[in-house]
Amino acid sequence: MRRIYSFLLLSILMTGVVCAQVTFKVQAPSQAEVGQRIRISYVANTTDVGNFQVGDFQGFNVLYGPSTSQSSSFSMTNGRTTQSSTMTFTYTVVPTKEGTLQVPAASIVVDGKTVKSGTASIEVLPASSAPSQQQGGSQQQGGNPRQRQGGASGGGISKDELYMTVTANRQKIYEQEAVMLTYKLYTLVNIQQISGEMPQIDGCHVQEMDRETQLTLKYERVNGRNYGTAVWKQYVLFPQKTGKLRVPGITFDTQVEVQNHSMNPFDIFFGGGSLSQMVRKQITAPAVEIEVLPLPTPKPSGFSGAVGKFSVSATLTPEQVNANDAATLRLVVSGQGNMKLIKAPQVRFPQDFEVYEPKEDNKTTSTAMGSKGNITYDYVVVPRHGGKYSIPPVEFCYFDPEKAQYNTVRTDSFSLAVAKAKGHAVAYTREQEDLNVLSNDIRFIKLGKLKKADAYDFFGSPAYWLTYVLLLVAFVIAVLWMRRQQRLNPNSWSVKGKKAGKVASRRLKLAAKLMHGKGGQSDAAFYDEVMRALVGYAGDKLSLPQGELTKDNVISKLTERGVEQQVVDAFIAVLSDCEFARYAPVDNPSMAKEKIYQQASDVITRMDSLLKSHK
């Protein structure tokens, strides 16, 4: 009984799936000429069909149809085989009048149910005034194919049969404002291939617009002839200087299929030749001149070089931190214009904040008016002292070419509450780019008359001079002792270098234990241990004391020792990523720690192998 119920349920489900998946569609070209033979097909995704019916082809002369054809295909994915079948009903028709003609709907019966197709519209143009031989029904890349009768070279193809035009969406623009050039192909011949690129233009930034890889030709009537047309290339230009901008002409190389009348018909019949052959033809798009106007003066002091329309927003995360912990100011610039050329806005942080270079995330697309989207800047800062701090509004000044004026947009101001640091401050090995004077380093100088030195003051007394001499003697003795130790143990750095890999390995093992911990302190401890492994390995292996352990010295020493530049770049990159990840918030902390750990282990292994082989 259970088997019967299961069989019935399976049959009902399969029937429902079959009915739900049956499709019946009409396929027809979007354009045609009066008197041109075209094919109209009705395609069902099953061969189990019956009672095919179709409406009247008004405005068409039906030459043949319907012809039926079936096709099946099999595919195997992960050991599972699937089958698909189609049934096609094809008509060969000729449009008899101009205008927009409607292709009628058709219907079929599948499993006792009627399934109908949709309709289609065909734009019918007048017949071309120039004679051309149509290739019955086949279409080259969606357009109207014509087989040119010619010789073995492109010289027989006239400039009226194949040419390229160029248009600019604006003839007068401001400096840094976007202008788009469109290169459009016009053809009466069966073109198979085309190539050509925009040359370098002095004083101009060029971006190519994305386009479809498959060239689709559409009819366009020009001087009584129906050309196959297509937009071949589009470029967005950003002039960097004023005056006349001249875009030179571009020469395109094409390959055209022409009929070969020099062949002997008997040779063709017996497989010794072909009715068609490929010939090369060069076409040149004309040059374009655009007037570039200078930006109005005087320019605002905060002008960023942005031209277009923009807005700016910002968020501070978190708004309460401990000293020596990181906070992130996220600044988002949105709009349209020369976004890929703008500079990161300047943010005025308090003086005793340690500020890292902003991380940039560009999410823009090219349009006719320039790049459109947004750019995100993440500023990671580390306050060193407790207190309440204010971050003033961030200003972004840009030029609006439509209004011909400068505009300034601002964010809100932010307040950051910084509590005193907990525990001991973490030691950092990162080389600082700038030396900032901390707000509490310089005390107020007390004014008033200088106090006369007392006879018993320490300064200038015999005890002062004796102390001075003793310190000098102690310094000389220390220098002599260090030199003696170096002579007695000349291979101390060599010993450290040999043990550098083992020491780094122990530190990485400790970092691996900290990898899966949760919380900010665990993350900080993990990144600190990885950084100690990287920096300690470099110092011991390259015999660099702590005071000389800088990024530039490490790069210089590694290069001198014959380490490949790729490995040097990888070492610096993983050190920077580790340092940035310690302060910046990440979406997946566990994955980020595993990635940095693996990168650090790999780069130490590669460097150790290279340094041993270049001894």
Residue 332 lies in domain: 303-419
| Average pLDDT for the chain | 79
User: What per-residue string of b and e applies to 160-172 under the rule 16 or more CB within 10 Å gives b?
Assistant: ebbbbebebeeee
Q: How many domains is the chain partitioned into structurally? A: 4
Give me the mean pLDDT over the 41-51 stretch.
Answer: 88
* Residue 409 within a domain: yes
**Burial of 262: CB neighbours in 10 Å, binned 0-12, 13-18, 19+:** exposed
For residue 519, the domain's CATH number is 1.20.120
More confident residue, 404 or 448: 404
**Burial of 226: CB neighbours in 10 Å, binned 0-12, 13-18, 19+:** buried
- What per-residue confidence (pLDDT) applies to 415? 92
Q: Terminus-to-terminus CA distance in the chain, angstroms?
A: 83
Q: Measure the CA–CA gap between 538 and 525, rounded to whole angstroms.
A: 20
- What per-residue confidence (pLDDT) applies to 465? 84
Give me the mean pLDDT over the 72-97 stretch.
Answer: 80
For residue 64, the domain's CATH number is 2.60.40.740
Give me the mean pLDDT over the 61-77 stretch.
Answer: 81
* Residue 193 within a domain: yes
Token couple for 295: 């930006």
- What per-residue confidence (pLDDT) applies to 313? 94
Q: Measure the CA–CA gap between 143 and 151, rounded to whole angstroms.
A: 24
- Let me know whether 278 and 311 are in one domain: no
* Residue 346 within a domain: yes
* Residue 460 within a domain: no
For residue 341, the domain's CATH number is 2.60.40.1510
Token couple for 390: 């204010």
- Let me know whether 280 and 308 are in one domain: no
Give me the mean pLDDT over the 442-471 stretch.
Answer: 67
Q: Measure the CA–CA gap between 101 and 95, rounded to whole angstroms.
A: 8
- What per-residue confidence (pLDDT) applies to 327? 92
